[in-house]
A and B are shown apart, each in its own frame.
Chain A
Amino acid sequence: MKLKLVLEILGFVALAVLVAVMPSFVSDFHSREFAIVGMYFIALLGLGVLTGYSGQISLGHGAFMAIGGYTTAILSVDGISGHPVRDIWTIPIAGVVAGLAGLLVGVPALRLSGLYLALITFGIAVSFPQLPKKFGGFLGGTSGQILNLVKAPFGLDLTPNDWIYYLTWGIALVLLAVAWWLLRGPTGRALQAIRDSEVAAASSGINLAFYKTLAFGISAFYAGVAGALYAMASAYVNPDTFPIILSIYLVVGLAVGGLGSLAGLIAGAALIYFLQNHADTVARWVNHLPAVDLNPKQPGISSAIFGAVLILVMLLLPTGAGGLLRKVFRPLTTRLYTRS
């Protein structure tokens, strides 16, 4: 197992170096795009802890992102008793608020299993956008809240896009390390035991209620942080900023990334961003096929492409990118283990 650890650390360092040098090779705008991918990655890490490791399916993580986003919006615009909070300091607060909401949801979740839980969390995703509409005075109603544009602090000479990029990926790497550290320790073992068999886990002395609720809380914390960053990058929140479909996209990202594989989630995050914002590019690729001539501007084409890509990905890679990675690397690692 030592070797696996070394490989994982090497992988992490490689990722960190890649993240650090990336903006030198791409345009300023692409930094922003990668930043948003990073935000989805953070949310997916949280979802991965919940679904991949404790086996609870949540179709409501968009709501936790929304809670994070709204926290950041309220704190940085209205502030605490009239004193606006600087945007980066709202991020941990947003995470904690969302995390508390997650713990709250985690308690009834104990009684629900499988698809019942999935559908109830979906209900939360569906219901959440209604709250700002109802409580418009505090949350801004349908017209939402306009945030200040992000600017690099501490006199750093960074464009807003680069700043949000480094901020997001800095946080993402820390949270990746935390998730990894958490999951390879006793917490991770407890969660995996619960996922595999609740009865067995309980009979070997694992406190089910504690760990399942904890998983919900951690997971919501991650989503809240992602939502806070997303609100900063958009400089705007309203009920449609975190639409119902976002929760579904996150689950899509998780499935594509592969359950139980933290690194594969980057692929999932990239797919979410890419298919939402670049369906026109995909249409142009598809047009290279003979006898195909799609007009990406025609209403409906982008949804059709998104849907078709999802189906194809899941048919070809039913275990997601993470599963593929494992399949590719297993022969290698097995050989290494047996030799050592």
Chain B
Amino acid sequence: MAVAAFTWTEFAQQLAAGIREGAIYAGLALALVIIYRSTRVINFAQGELATFTTFIAWSLMNHGLSFWSAFPIVLAIAFTGGVAIERILIRPVENASVLTIVIITLGLALLLNGLMSIIWGGQNRQFHGPFSTRTIDVGGVPISVQDIGIVVTSLALVALLALFFRYTKLGLAMRAAAVNPASSRLVGVRVSWMLALGWGIAAVLGAVAGMMIAPVVFLDPNMMQTILLYAFAAAVLGGLDSPLGAVVGGILLGVTITLLGRYVEFIGSTLKLPAALLLILVLLLVRPGGLFGKVAVRRV
């Protein structure tokens, strides 16, 4: 079958699509990393949490609110929800095995998915995001304002988070609680609240990612499921405990698989996931802690 030949315009557009795709992975991967750093747990409910909060935004906007007036409300709800989940579901099993906590997050994912179907139905919904759907001309290549907005938002979020962790007392306490809970208690940090705070921030990050991507892929209860898989991959790629790694990993992954899927005919759309896996596996064999992660030194 004749497949369109290579053109630079298309390449630029594919690249833009890849970066935008990657920015979304990055957003969710960042949320995963925040929770992993503090609790050493992978949160399987991260995607459904993001979708759930996006549905709340949709409902608010359906009741006449503008995006920007709904936005802070949704973030507040997401934050409270994240903290509440940690307090109610994770806290009681804090000392149980990682497996137990992972299963609870899985249960939460199923529960939220079911609730979304019950409350909002399985239909696809249109979600009016903050960005115009116009395209602008960037050096002869039409690029959508939405795509640019998504990438800029993601990067801004990362920068904001970095500033928070670097320069605020709370951010410092969260980092301390993650790396050394025992000593943190001795200097007066309420460690278990820091973990809850981590869940809250992760939920906020997820909510933002959800509200950014929903205008592109349309909103339904399963919106984030595939994206979550890629976010896992992005987080592993970057190193599970590195926020910077999550972002770099996300964008790298988005670009790589978009370009591989387009230009390597054998991979196409079907083998994108396996190709991503293989890439990561190879990387992990070389660097067992991911691109930016710390490797616990084990001499065996």
Contact = CB atoms under 8 A, between A and B. Distances in A.
Interface string A290-303: 00000000111111
B99 A315 contact: no
Given A304-B118, A310-B106, A113 B300 contact: no
Nearest to B300: A202
A298 B118 contact: yes
Contacts of A302: 114
Nearest to B122: A299
A27 B92 CA distance: 42
B112 interface: yes
Contact of A318 (B100, B106, B270, B285): B100
B127 interface: no
A107 B232 CA distance: 22
A308 B104 contact: no
A13 to B, nearest CB: 31
Contact of A310 (B40, B103, B271): B103
B111 interface: yes
B110 A307 contact: yes
A256 B97 CA distance: 12
Contacts of B288: 111-113, 116
Interface stretch (B13-21, B149-157, B276-284): B276-284
Nearest to A308: B111
Contacts of A51: 99
For the complex, would chain A's binding face be called helix, strand, loop or mixed by DSSP majority?
A: helix
A307 B277 contact: no
Contact of A303 (B93, B110, B240, B273): B110
A261 to B, nearest CB: 13
Contact of A308 (B107, B290, B298): B107
B122 A198 contact: no
A307 B112 contact: yes
Contacts of B42: 115, 118-119
Contacts of B162: none
> Which size class do B's interface residues fall under?
35 or more
Given A315-B92, A318-B93, A252 B103 contact: yes
B98 interface: yes
Contact of A300 (B36, B107, B118, B284): B118
B95 to A, nearest CB: 9
A134 B229 CA distance: 20
Contact of B104 (A57, A120, A123, A310): A310
B163 interface: no
Contact of B111 (A108, A127, A311, A315): A311
Contacts of A208: 300
B298 A126 contact: no
A112 B284 contact: yes
Name which of A133, A255, A302 has the most chain B CB atoms within 10 A of its CB: A255
A300 B298 contact: no
A41 interface: no
> Which size class do A's interface residues fall under?
35 or more
Contacts, number: 152
Interface in B247-280: 270-271, 273-274, 276-277, 280
A308 B96 CA distance: 19
Contacts of B114: 300-307
A152 to B, nearest CB: 38
A306 B114 CA distance: 9
Nearest to B99: A255
A279 to B, nearest CB: 10
Interface string A81-124: 00000000000000000000000000010011111101110111
Contacts of A199: 298-300
Interface string A43-74: 00000000100000100000000000000000
B233 interface: yes
A127 B277 contact: yes
B132 interface: no
B111 A314 contact: no
Contacts of A112: 284, 288
B285 A111 contact: yes
Contacts of B104: 310-311, 314-315
A202 B299 CA distance: 10
A198 B296 CA distance: 13
A303 B106 contact: no
B273 A126 contact: yes
B109 interface: yes
A248 interface: yes
Nearest to B230: A126
A130 interface: yes
A298 B109 CA distance: 18
A247 to B, nearest CB: 11
B46 interface: no
Given A252-B106, A314-B100, A119 B236 contact: yes
Interface in A197-239: 198-199, 202, 208
A-B pairs, 4 with minimum CB distance: A300-B117, A304-B114, A307-B111, A310-B107
12 contacts: A118-B42, A122-B232, A123-B276, A130-B271, A134-B270, A301-B114, A303-B111, A304-B114, A307-B111, A307-B114, A311-B108, A314-B103
Given A126-B277, A259-B99, A300-B117, 10 more contacts: A120-B236, A120-B284, A198-B298, A255-B100, A300-B116, A303-B110, A303-B111, A304-B115, A306-B110, A311-B89
Interface of B: 36, 40, 42, 44, 89, 92-93, 96-100, 102-104, 106-118, 121-122, 221, 229, 232-233, 236, 240, 270-271, 273-274, 276-277, 280-281, 284-285, 288, 290, 296, 298-300
